[in-house]
Amino acid sequence: MRRLLILTLLLLAGCSQKMEVQPKQLPFAATPGTPPAGTVATDADIDIPADNPFPIDMALLQRGQQRFDIFCAPCHGKSGDGQGMIPQHGFPHPPDYTEPRLLAASERHFYDVISNGYGAMFPYGSRVPPADRWAIAAYIRVLQFARNAPVAQLPDDLRARLEQVSP
């Protein structure tokens, strides 16, 4: 029995794994060379255009509306007036998209705010792909125009319906 205990102690004493000195990648260490295959590029890795690089068509606007309803409407409201459900529960109200400074802002501004956040808004760059950020920015323009459209620029059928409703 004593021999078995001594043999076990000797074997255990020889099992020094020294995990702290084995080769490994440290969490925040810079990786030399190119990223591994299959790595997803971040905004820091790509050149972001100054204007929306996608053609503004119905498919892009529908995608923008879908993504806006998912990511933005809880705070900004479906119409972009800043009256979403989250502010109704005591959180800060985001700005109304029809404020003069936002009417004058570029689509790139909205892309950057979605990417990096602004004020109390959390950055969504890791959650919303770049193409969807551009789609949302284009849809924000639609919301702005829809709430500020000059009556003279409306199609005839819409203008006629509006005149029937207006006193």
Confidence tier at 114 by pLDDT (50, 70, 90): very high
Share of the chain above pLDDT 90, in %: 53
Domain residue extents for the chain: 55-148
pLDDT tens, position by position, 27-74: 666 666 666 667 666 656 567 788 899 999 999 999 999 999 999 999
Give pLDDT, residue 48.
79
Helices (H) and strands (E) in the chain, counts: 8, 0
Give pLDDT, residue 28.
66
- Which of 69-78, 130-139, 158-167 is predicted least confidently? 158-167
Give pLDDT, residue 17.
64
Confidence tier at 8 by pLDDT (50, 70, 90): confident
Q: Superfamily for 55-148?
A: Cytochrome c-like domain (1.10.760.10)
